[in-house]
Structure 1
Amino acid sequence: MKCRPKFYLIPVCSLFALITLAASGTAQTSLGASQSDPNVSASVIKAHMAFLADDSLEGREAGTRGEVIAAQYIATQFETLGLLQAGAKQSFFQTVPLRSARLDTSDFEFTVKSPFGDKSFKNGDEIVVFANLQKETISNEAGVIFAGHGIVAPELGIDDYKGLDAKGKIVAVLGGPPSFLPAAEAAHFGSTAQQRLTAAKHGAIGVIVIWTPILENSFPFDRLRSQFSSASLTWVGPDGKANIAAPEIQVRAFVRGNAAQALFQGAEQTAAQVIVAGEAGPVQGFALRTSLKLSLLTEHNDGQHSRNVAALLKGSDPVLADEIIVLTAHYDHVGICAPKEEDKICNGALDNALGVALMLDVARMLSAQQQTPARSILFLAVGAEEKGLLGSDYFAAFPTVPIKSIIANINLDGGLPYYEFSDVIAFGAEQSQMGDRLASAVAKIGLSVAPDPFPELGIFTRSDQYSFVKRGIPALFLYNGFHDQNGDNLGQELWNTAFAKHYHRPSDDLSLPINYQVTAKYADVFRLVTLEVANARLRPLWYGNSVFKKQFAPEAPLANRD
């Protein structure tokens, strides 16, 4: 980003100016369920984004000075609004200890062995292997089997491991959400984390994900392979142990093209054939005639940390105030992402300075009400989302409030604030009564709820709300809708452009044509759905047919669809 004043040159003055803007909103004595001042919101949101997306924060990467400054800024805003400290040790902060792992690229081997000859591959070409977060030295050689999509789901009639012996083996699976499953089931069972957990249950020691067209559409392999030399991160618990899903899975790799074909040398089907078959339905697994030798060295560093920033608005109802709705937005981004370019900083204006600014504005509006909402609201700005939802997952594992008191989560992560939208998108809306609460809330301002425009991408599992979903808590991932006031779909093309040209790139900055009046409308949607959930007589429940209820809250009460 260029040609903008640097806030670090005048930190006290700039901070005072922003606080003054926020305070101008609190001069209102009351904000009812259908009242807000879009002009005030637009100004406040613009100011927050200007600070958070400034070059001086250097992209707010987890564990860096920029992230520390952003966290301190958010905490200062919470304090200005008179919110209660809800972090650890009577503060606004919760420290998230991190382990980083970086590959020693000078000592690496990935060799596919078969009766037809051995083939070795260089990391970052047609294979991608990231640093190992559990062990610094990995040296394994094991046979490989193919297990379809790696799914075991009796309720869906699928057992990709049927008849296979995975014990001590490396399992090759088709990557991405299977297109033949309902969207939610596809997102859950098609995630690499779930594939590894399932493989571990069957005694496997490794998982190789075969790159498929559906994965390519959502995240190009070229982008994946550009990241293998970057540090991998996870959080470290109070017991000093790193959080690793399926630690038994020591071999974790992604392959495409010639590397995938090499694994299937002499097999009953080729890699290309199983990829095509997997687009139509479940694929029966089979043993392969190959083995894999993988050797890598990793350097661990447990000295880094991120921080979550938490503040509480206490509810007004003497009974319901003990129940908490958590509003989340991640404040980290990807830092100095293009070190060889003139504009080297990924400022993350939309991803996710926007989400944090909206959350801060909702905090301003709700705290300005003469009577606070019936239930308590926890405003949670999470760190290290870009490293794998680490901040939110750490909070969900070690919450600073009783986990049983959390009844819902509403998450913001980006948006397209360019046009007057006539509908809203809420990923996960069909899974619980949270969708009904949203529909009721936005109807008050003449909006409707649109269905998930990308069910095949499994977006509901890919942002911070999923950390709460995995603990059985109903959640929404809120996004502005794609249709304008004339009913035209403007958002689809803008979404495609955003991900092709701006996502995790230096161009995601304040030079984008952001309409701050639209951001104010977005904040009002966030406010209204929060009030709808907070003031409802009953807490929101999962629907009985939700895959997430079945997996993460099987004993919880369920709601029946009308």
Structure 2
Amino acid sequence: MKTCHTVWALCLSSIFALTACQNSQTTDTGKVDNFIEVYNQISTADIKRHIKTLASNEYEGRLPTTVGEQKTLEYLESEFKALGYLPGNGDSYLQPVELIEMTADPDMTLTIGDNQFIYKENMIASTKREQNLVDLKDSDLVFVGYGVNAPEYNWNDYQGLDVKGKTVVILVNDPGFENPESGKFQGKTMTYYGRWSYKYEEASRQGAEAAIIVHETEPASYGWSVVANSWSGPQYGLVSPNGNADRVAVEGWLTLAAAQKVFADAGLDFATEKEHAKTGPYNKALNLKASVTVKNSFKTSQSNNVIATLPGTSSADEHVIFTAHWDHLGKDDTKEGDQIYNGAHDNATGVAAALAMAKAYANLTVKPKRSTTFLIVTAEEQGLLGSKYYSENPIIPLKNTVANINMDAMSVLGKTKDVAVIGMGKSELESYLEKAAKRQNRHLVQEGRPEAGSYYRSDHFSFAKQGVPALYAKGGNQPIDEATAQYRKRTNVIVRGCYHQVCDQFRESWDLSGIQEDAQLLFEVGYDLVSSDDWPSWAETSEFQRQK
């Protein structure tokens, strides 16, 4: 049985499709050049060549600021130059990105009331402030429900509350997740208000001194070990002009058991307070104080985004930007045996698709009216930092950026009957995608587990936050035939098991026809946009709107 959200998304998709049919070229008769020829030239051979090169041991896992970066930059610049693309940043194909690596001393304890919580065991604390020492001392503790301030949903957990200098305790995910039939937010589908990054950002805007998120496995979509391992050790960020002084001093997590203990010490039942928070905006003083000292070491370095442009004709100042991240995890000299995290699937596949599409645009005999730009970004693995930097320091004005189309970890599982739209129902870009999918006899579906918030976990999100409609879609889960189904069963085990592992290497056994098909699909979406005067819009219920 379809959920309410699924029905809504399908209806919205139909509306968007009608709008697009009225406003854009929708048939091949409108494509007056060699579109079909270059569409068919997007090949598995080209895709394979790029993946094998970028994921080879020579590139040492493509870690930012290493020799692997330098080799990657040289390869990308050479490829774009050979295709006739112009440097996207003045006379350079590079946009420098200043990074900062921060490491918190694990020898710390969080004290709340009479209880002490241990680093990685039941709490995590860190800081984004560029300081050697951050000392949170006797800070008043306030429960702010989901920590959401969302006018479009008539929801503000901070309403009437002054949290300046205080520590806010926040539930993970958003109010719709555990109450999907309530009509609140988007049900099981996570909105950006459910992401930990938003919660820290909003707490900072509210003037809080610290923000602590309560971890629960199901609404977070990952276990405590992910928090403990991901948030410990070196953490990366962008160099900030004010040293991130406008961020909360301490960003932390508590296990569910630790949070239950804190609430009990405050004379409250955690489950009861959570129920209150689910039904409407909610906050409550806990009458406890929190203290923790974070000792920080940090160093700065420089990495680079790659940007290349194929100028348009009559509307060259308007751009469609394709993104993919070139970076991966580098190498670990302490490991025995294989030490290189080659990153073949994540994300040599996305870069390979981008280069194959760039070739197709370059081979069009009639150049589109708008410009086509490829932005291959750094430091995605460190928190979307390259795309975040670009979106906050755009080379092409955001008001002139028609749309963003992103490629990340493309499917090596063969052709599919469906196209998975990550964040389905967010913008009119899906109407262009639906039209392009029909050429391949495919249909659109919502991605699996939308409650995990995957829309907010790749580089297109950096554009979405700035109001630029952004599309993230790739092959779904319905194999084209039985042979492909059997191949998927064998290969998917390896792909999942090798995520962020040294075994993420190129394999001759990979069926790259799914990447080819998805690259053709997204090529057509981009083609229709650069060939038209359309400005796609967000859905009214989306968290994002184009900045005025």
Q: Provide the TM-score with structure 2 as the length reference.
A: 0.85
Distance 1:499 1:167 in 2: 46
CA contact (8 A) 2:398 2:468 kept: no
| Residue 201 of structure 2: aligned partner | 197
60, 72, 76: which one aligns with 1:74? 76
Superposition deviation, residue 163 in structure 1: 5.8
Match of 1:424, SS state, is strand
Match of 2:345, as an amino acid? L
Match of 1:507, as an amino acid? C
The structure-2 alpha-carbon separation of the partners of 1:257 and 1:460, relative to structure 1 and needing over 3 Å to count, comes to closer
Is residue 519 from structure 1 mapped to residue 515 from structure 2 by the alignment? yes
| 1:121-270 alignment, distance < 5 Å | 121-141=117-137, 142-162=139-159, 164-178=161-175, 179=177, 180=179, 181-182=185-186, 186-217=190-221, 219-236=222-239, 240-242=241-243, 244=244, 247-270=246-269
Superposition deviation, residue 143 in structure 1: 1.7
| Residue 330 of structure 2: aligned partner | 335
| Residue 24 of structure 1: aligned partner | none
| Residue 14 of structure 1: aligned partner | none
CA contact (8 A) 2:145 2:274 kept: no
CA contact (8 A) 1:362 1:527 kept: yes
Match of 1:472, as an amino acid? G
Superposition deviation, residue 40 in structure 1: 6.4
What is the root-mean-square deviation of aligned Cα atoms in Å? 2.9
Q: Deviations over 1:362-416 (max 9, x none)?
A: 0011101212222110011000111111111111122222332111100011122
* Identity over aligned pairs, percent: 28
Match of 2:91, as an amino acid? Q
Match of 1:69, SS state, is helix
Is residue 364 from structure 1 mapped to residue 359 from structure 2 by the alignment? yes
Match of 1:430, SS state, is coil
CA contact (8 A) 1:100 1:133 kept: no
Superposition deviation, residue 254 in structure 1: 0.9
* Structure 1 range deviating more: 255-264 or 291-300: 255-264
| 1:544-559 alignment, distance < 5 Å | 544-549=540-545, 553=547, 555=548
| Residue 445 of structure 1: aligned partner | 440
Superposition deviation, residue 51 in structure 1: 1.3
| Residue 385 of structure 2: aligned partner | 390
Distance 1:295 1:336 in 2: 32
CA contact (8 A) 1:421 1:481 kept: yes
Match of 2:236, as an amino acid? L
Superposition deviation, residue 356 in structure 1: 0.3
CA contact (8 A) 1:101 1:301 kept: yes
49, 52, 65: which one aligns with 1:50? 52
Distance 1:110 1:252 in 2: 12
Distance 2:423 2:507 in 1: 31
The structure-2 alpha-carbon separation of the partners of 1:275 and 1:514, relative to structure 1 and needing over 3 Å to count, comes to farther
Q: Deviations over 1:175-230 (max 9, x none)?
A: 1244043069842211223222332343311100000233442x332122123442
| Residue 109 of structure 1: aligned partner | 109
Distance 1:495 1:268 in 2: 52
| 1:401-550 alignment, distance < 5 Å | 401-486=396-481, 497=493, 501-511=497-507, 513-549=509-545
Q: Provide structure 1 residue ranges, at least 5 long, that are not aligned to the other structure.
A: 1-29, 556-562
Superposition deviation, residue 498 in structure 1: 6.8
CA contact (8 A) 2:172 2:213 kept: yes
Q: Deviations over 1:116-154 (max 9, x none)?
A: xx2323322111223544322111121211111111234
Match of 1:112, as an amino acid? I
Q: Deviations over 1:409-435 (max 9, x none)?
A: 000111222122112123245222111
CA contact (8 A) 2:60 2:342 kept: yes
Match of 1:191, as an amino acid? R
Distance 1:343 1:449 in 2: 39
Q: Deviations over 1:272-320 (max 9, x none)?
A: 5555776x64473322142211101111212x1110001001113x2x3
| Residue 3 of structure 1: aligned partner | none
| Residue 20 of structure 2: aligned partner | none
Match of 2:143, as an amino acid? F
| Residue 293 of structure 1: aligned partner | 291
Distance 2:273 2:495 in 1: 29
Q: Provide structure 2 residue ranges, at least 5 long, that are not aligned to the other structure.
A: 1-31, 180-184
Match of 1:221, as an amino acid? W
Superposition deviation, residue 109 in structure 1: 2.8
Distance 2:506 2:146 in 1: 41
CA contact (8 A) 2:128 2:247 kept: no
The structure-2 alpha-carbon separation of the partners of 1:492 and 1:230, relative to structure 1 and needing over 3 Å to count, comes to farther
Superposition deviation, residue 336 in structure 1: 2.7
Distance 2:521 2:345 in 1: 17
Is residue 307 from structure 1 mapped to residue 304 from structure 2 by the alignment? yes
The structure-2 alpha-carbon separation of the partners of 1:398 and 1:126, relative to structure 1 and needing over 3 Å to count, comes to same
* Structure 1 range deviating more: 432-441 or 503-512: 503-512
Superposition deviation, residue 164 in structure 1: 4.5
The structure-2 alpha-carbon separation of the partners of 1:56 and 1:437, relative to structure 1 and needing over 3 Å to count, comes to same
Match of 1:437, SS state, is helix
Superposition deviation, residue 35 in structure 1: 3.4
Superposition deviation, residue 492 in structure 1: 10
Match of 1:313, as an amino acid? L
CA contact (8 A) 2:127 2:250 kept: no
CA contact (8 A) 2:100 2:236 kept: yes
Match of 2:37, SS state, is coil
Distance 1:226 1:109 in 2: 17
CA contact (8 A) 1:100 1:233 kept: yes
Q: Deviations over 1:48-89 (max 9, x none)?
A: 1111112232221222221222122111111111110112x5
The structure-2 alpha-carbon separation of the partners of 1:258 and 1:457, relative to structure 1 and needing over 3 Å to count, comes to closer
Distance 2:489 2:512 in 1: 20
Match of 1:149, SS state, is coil
| Residue 9 of structure 2: aligned partner | none
| Residue 23 of structure 1: aligned partner | none
Distance 2:491 2:223 in 1: 16
* Structure 1 range deviating more: 179-188 or 348-357: 179-188
Match of 2:197, as an amino acid? A
CA contact (8 A) 2:125 2:294 kept: no
Superposition deviation, residue 263 in structure 1: 2.3
Distance 1:470 1:190 in 2: 14
Superposition deviation, residue 42 in structure 1: 0.9
Distance 1:513 1:526 in 2: 25
Match of 1:321, as an amino acid? A
